[in-house]
């Protein structure tokens, strides 16, 4: 049966078993990944995990040591950048300082030998598209960082490439401009339907922009999934810890439960044998507060009694540090809404019962 008859979109970009070595060091270890046409994919991971190396291999700027890359059914594995079909935007805007904004955008188009009037019309259209219709005659230095990055984006999409590659395009900008441009890039990508890969180490950026996130660590893919899959069901402890925040406890598995300190909590069914040492994790915002002693049976309700050691006001919520006999010396960090804190009159030193919902407890092998 063909992909078409199954109504499955064939991969537009197919990365198969890609390795990259720098001397003895392997920056990419057997990376395989399919990206569909029109998808917005983020490569996310800590510094040095290999995301830029992978992007550069896709662009042909640094060839992979092993493995293949296909784009639109064409094997581009060993093609030079000029023979591949993509536009790229780097962190540093990389505009030509001595050319006007219009000439910067037209740069790639001029190589295509199109008629001058057509190029000018396209530049006007692109300037409008990135929200800078009046800036064509200025020079890069006369624009703000955010504006320069929009021009870099216009230049990258000028020749209507099949693939748009974005290498940390927002990280040189200040927080407000960054958030604003995030929306603009996403809008533009949707409008154009261009398959896009963005490298970022900013989890919020990836969560808010990507259709799918590829989480990388030490040259391997830890997880590929939609933002909600990655956040809600992190496949590994690394993902749980890197994206969002997680309390982590050394724990022991038992039948559909997990023991942390002296307490036992129900959790989703797992495959660990009774007594297996595991790590139990829970996100601070998944912990539910109840008035102290308001729930009769702690074990059945997945609750423990705690004392609030510290409360930190973080604008839209309270971050609390909690301690309880059942947890021994462990600290539990929990985030509570302003309303919950008010309703329960939470104060440092106050007592509280907290619930760790079974479906929110994440269980991972220890030492992985």
Contact residues for ligand ATP (CB under 6 A)?
A: 22, 27, 45, 47-53, 201
Shortest Å distance, C-beta 168 to ligand ATP: 7
- Give 27 or 260: the residue with its C-beta nearer to ligand ATP: 27
Residues 71-80: b if buried by 16+ CB within 10 A, e if exposed: beeeebbeee
Where are the alpha helices (H) located in 10-86, listed in sequence order?
51-59
- Give 84 or 201: the residue with its C-beta nearer to ligand ATP: 201
| Mode of pairing for the β-strands spanning 212-217 and 257-260 | unpaired
Shortest Å distance, C-beta 45 to ligand ATP: 6
Alpha-carbon distance 239 to 325, whole Å?
A: 29
User: Is the dihedral angle over the CA atoms 167, 173, 174, 178 positive or is it negative?
Assistant: negative
Shortest Å distance, C-beta 41 to ligand ATP: 15
| 204 sits in which H/E element | helix 203-209
Report DSSP letters for 216-242, one per residue.
EETTEEEEEE-HHHHHHS-SSHHHHHH
Shortest Å distance, C-beta 171 to ligand ATP: 9
- Give 219 or 289: the residue with its C-beta nearer to ligand ATP: 219
Shortest Å distance, C-beta 19 to ligand ATP: 12
- Give 27 or 311: the residue with its C-beta nearer to ligand ATP: 27
Distances (CA, A) of 158 to 89, 149, 280, 305: 12, 14, 49, 60
- Residue pair 151/105 in contact (Cβ under 8 Å)? The answer is yes
- Give 54 or 258: the residue with its C-beta nearer to ligand ATP: 54
Cβ-proximal residue to ligand ATP, closest one? 52
- The DSSP 8-state label assigned to residue 94 in this structure reads -
- Give 214 or 301: the residue with its C-beta nearer to ligand ATP: 214
- Residue pair 156/88 in contact (Cβ under 8 Å)? The answer is yes
- Give 53 or 189: the residue with its C-beta nearer to ligand ATP: 53
- Give 242 or 317: the residue with its C-beta nearer to ligand ATP: 242
In the sheet where 40-44 sits, what is the strand order? 86-89, 163-167, 195-200, 40-44, 212-217, 220-225
Shortest Å distance, C-beta 109 to ligand ATP: 30
Shortest Å distance, C-beta 224 to ligand ATP: 16
Tokens of 64: 């992979």
Shortest Å distance, C-beta 29 to ligand ATP: 11
């Amino acid at each position: 049966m063909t992909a078409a008859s199954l109504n499955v979109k064939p991969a537009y970009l197919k990365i198969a078993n890609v390795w990259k070595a720098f001397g003895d060091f392997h920056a990419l270890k057997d990376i395989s990944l399919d990206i569909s046409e029109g998808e917005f994919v983020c490569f996310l991971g800590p510094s040095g995990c290999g995301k830029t190396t992978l992007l550069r291999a896709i662009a042909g700027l640094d060839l992979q040591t092993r493995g293949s890359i296909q784009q639109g059914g064409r094997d581009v594995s060993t093609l030079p950048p000029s023979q591949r079909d993509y536009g790229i935007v780097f962190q540093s805007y990389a505009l030509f300082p001595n050319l006007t904004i219009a000439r910067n955008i037209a740069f790639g188009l001029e190589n295509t030998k199109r008629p001058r009037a057509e190029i000018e019309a396209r530049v006007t259209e692109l300037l409008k598209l990135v929200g800078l219709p009046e800036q064509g005659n200025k020079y890069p230095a006369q624009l703000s960082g955010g504006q320069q990055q929009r021009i870099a984006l216009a230049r990258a999409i000028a020749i209507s490439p099949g693939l748009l590659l974005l290498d940390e395009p927002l990280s040189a900008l200040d927080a407000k401009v960054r958030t604003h441009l995030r929306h603009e890039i996403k809008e533009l990508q949707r409008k154009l339907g261009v398959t896009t890969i963005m490298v970022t180490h900013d989890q919020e950026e990836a969560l808010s922009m990507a259709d799918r996130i590829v989480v990388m660590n030490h040259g391997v893919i830890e997880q590929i999934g939609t933002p909600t899959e990655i956040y809600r069901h992190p496949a590994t402890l690394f993902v749980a810890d890197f994206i969002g925040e997680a309390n982590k406890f050394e724990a022991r598995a038992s039948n559909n439960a997990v023991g942390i300190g002296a307490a036992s909590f129900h959790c989703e069914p797992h495959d660990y044998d009774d007594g297996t040492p595991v790590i139990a994790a829970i996100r601070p915002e998944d912990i539910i507060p109840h008035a102290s002693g308001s729930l009769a049976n702690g074990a059945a309700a997945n609750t423990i009694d705690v004392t609030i050691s510290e409360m930190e006001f973080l604008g839209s919520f309270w971050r609390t540090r909690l301690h309880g006999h059942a947890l021994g010396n462990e600290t539990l960090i929990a985030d509570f809404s302003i309303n919950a804190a008010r309703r329960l009159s939470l104060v440092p030193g106050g007592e509280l019962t907290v619930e760790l919902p079974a479906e929110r407890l994440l269980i991972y092998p220890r030492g992985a």
